[in-house]
């Protein structure tokens, strides 16, 4: 058994590595256990909000990420029935962020940047192919069972543990922590194509949500491609949904008369709305997808997870250096679980309901509401403050 005064982190996703970076900045030793043999290359979240970019800037990662991403200066809502409902320019919130735009960049770019930058730090230890299997704790520390790829299990010890091991978190299971919520009946299909949608859709923005009772969807521009996301009905099998023919049929609904797109990638995934009953159990914490999951409408999953990581890391660093009492760590749960419940869950569910609304009166309400917000400068400012997750940070401070 190794025994050390370190913070252990399960998972080298964006949340685990952001937590590691924030702890190392405060000279706290960390060990990250990552089950896979290397950092994930999966195509998943691809939107960084202004609030997250401000944080990443403080940590010294924003410049490299921005260089590899695409700045989206605006976002819009439209509906098939009414056309463009509202367009928003992030420039309006230049007074409250250093990054008045969304950055479109795949999450694996961030994890690579963080890992590369941390690699020279003697306090940074990362172990690939090491899967956390169990957790026990006592008054002085945490003991974790770690399984290597050859099957051997070893015990490691640290002072605190952050479970940033994703939606199927073993840390959460080891704590027997309930993951309350529900799973949507439809899955989401993401189709990527290099096709230039600006050439066929007038007044398009790089982040565009399209409301429609039959086939709502969104278009998200990333470097070199567009990602389009569609809900897939329960009666369609996974195998069928992942065929080229099926993806082409979804794309064919976007621009009337246009078919036969070049498809470079498809992902199908099940979408949940769940929040762990608590984000803290003694010396163990949950962060990111391990703590909360939601639909991707609004891009709040990874962004909210990075916000968790930074909130928790700063608190742990203060306790570590004797600058704060351990009770202060309860504020992490109060603030970040509070935000997951009242902000991320509420708004991501409302976003989906607005896009899929079948009742014409509901469609009218959404249209009128979006038009009213976009036509009033103060309302538009408040709206952008909310969707950029700046408002959630202010609200978190009030919660704990």
Ligand X SMILES: Cc1cc2nc3c(=O)[nH]c(=O)nc-3n(C[C@H](O)[C@H](O)[C@H](O)COP(=O)(O)OP(=O)(O)OC[C@H]3O[C@@H](n4cnc5c(N)ncnc54)[C@H](O)[C@@H]3O)c2cc1C
| Contact residues: ligand X, CB under 6 A | 10-16, 33-36, 40, 44-46, 107, 131-132, 164-166, 170, 267, 269, 288-289, 296, 299, 301-302, 305
Contacts of 235 (CB under 8 A, 6+ apart): none
Give the shortest CB-146-to-ligand X separation in angstroms: 8
| Structure tokens, 336 | 């970040």
Nearer to ligand X, 64 or 165 (CB): 165
Give the shortest CB-322-to-ligand X separation in angstroms: 29
Nearer to ligand X, 10 or 175 (CB): 10
Give the shortest CB-105-to-ligand X separation in angstroms: 12
What is the dihedral angle through the alpha carbons of 354, 358, 363, 366, rounded to the nearest 10 degrees? -10
Q: How far is the C-alpha of 4 from the C-alpha of 63, rounded, in Å? A: 34
Q: Residue written as tokens 């939606």?
A: 167
Task: Find the farthest-apart pair of alpha carbons in the chain and give their distance in angstroms, rounded.
Answer: 66
Q: Residue written as tokens 């941390």?
A: 118
Beta bridge partner(s), residue 190: 229, 267
The candidate with the shortest Cα–Cα distance to 56, out of 9, 90, 22, is: 22
How far is the first Cα of the chain from the last one, in angstroms, to the nearest whole number? 37
Q: How far is the C-alpha of 217 from the C-alpha of 251, rounded, in Å? A: 10
| Structure tokens, 279 | 């984000």
Asked if residues 6 and 29 have their Cβ atoms less than 8 Å apart, the reply is yes
Nearer to ligand X, 84 or 263 (CB): 263
Nearer to ligand X, 53 or 302 (CB): 302
Q: 3-state class of 214 per DSSP?
A: coil
Nearer to ligand X, 220 or 390 (CB): 220
Give the shortest CB-171-to-ligand X separation in angstroms: 7
Q: 3-state class of 230 per DSSP?
A: strand
Nearer to ligand X, 132 or 370 (CB): 132
Contacts of 178 (CB under 8 A, 6+ apart): 276, 277
Give the shortest CB-35-to-ligand X separation in angstroms: 4
Give the shortest CB-63-to-ligand X separation in angstroms: 22
Nearer to ligand X, 150 or 359 (CB): 150
Give the shortest CB-10-to-ligand X separation in angstroms: 5
Nearer to ligand X, 162 or 380 (CB): 162
Give the shortest CB-147-to-ligand X separation in angstroms: 8
Backbone torsions φ then ψ of 65, nearest 5 degrees: -65, -45
Axis-axis angle for helices 377-387, 390-399 (nearest 10): 70
């Amino acid at each position: 058994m190794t025994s050390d005064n370190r913070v252990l982190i399960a998972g080298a996703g964006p949340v685990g590595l952001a937590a590691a970076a924030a702890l190392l900045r405060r000279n706290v030793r960390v060990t990250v256990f990552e089950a896979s043999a290397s950092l994930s290359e999966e195509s998943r979240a691809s939107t960084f909000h202004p609030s997250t970019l401000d944080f990443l800037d403080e940590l010294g990662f924003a410049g490299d990420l921005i260089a590899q991403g695409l700045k989206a200066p605006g976002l819009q809502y439209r509906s098939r029935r009414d056309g463009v409902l509202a367009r928003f320019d992030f420039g309006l919130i230049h007074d409250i962020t250093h990054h008045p735009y969304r950055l479109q960049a795949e999450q694996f770019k961030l994890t690579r940047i963080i890992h590369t930058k941390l690699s020279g730090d003697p306090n940074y230890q990362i172990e690939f192919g090491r899967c956390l299997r169990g957790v026990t704790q006592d008054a002085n520390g945490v003991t974790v069972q770690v399984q290597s790829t050859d099957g051997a299990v070893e015990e490691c010890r640290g002072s605190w543990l952050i479970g940033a091991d994703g939606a199927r978190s073993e840390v959460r299971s080891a704590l027997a922590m309930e993951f309350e919520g529900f799973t949507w009946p439809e899955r989401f299909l993401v189709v990527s194509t290099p096709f230039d949608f600006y050439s066929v859709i007038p007044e398009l923005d790089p982040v565009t949500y399209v409301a429609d009772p039959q086939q709502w969807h969104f278009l998200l521009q990333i470097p070199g491609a567009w990602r389009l996301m569609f809900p897939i009905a329960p009666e369609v099998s996974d195998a069928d949904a992942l065929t080229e023919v099926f993806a082409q049929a979804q794309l064919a609904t976007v621009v009337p008369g246009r078919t036969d797109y070049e498809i470079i990638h498809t992902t199908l995934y099940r979408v949940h709305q769940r929040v762990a009953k608590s984000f803290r159990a003694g010396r163990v914490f949950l962060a990111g997808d391990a703590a909360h999951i939601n639909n991707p409408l609004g891009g709040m999953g990874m962004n909210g997870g990075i916000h968790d990581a930074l909130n928790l890391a700063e608190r742990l660093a203060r306790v570590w250096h004797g600058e704060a009492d351990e009770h202060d760590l309860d504020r992490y749960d109060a603030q970040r679980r509070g935000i997951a419940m009242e902000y991320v869950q509420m708004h991501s569910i409302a976003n989906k309901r607005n896009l899929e609304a079948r009742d014409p009166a509901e469609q009218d309400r959404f249209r009128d509401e979006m038009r009213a917000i976009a036509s009033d400068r103060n309302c538009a400012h408040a709206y952008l403050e909310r969707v950029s997750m700046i408002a959630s940070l202010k609200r978190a401070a009030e919660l704990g």
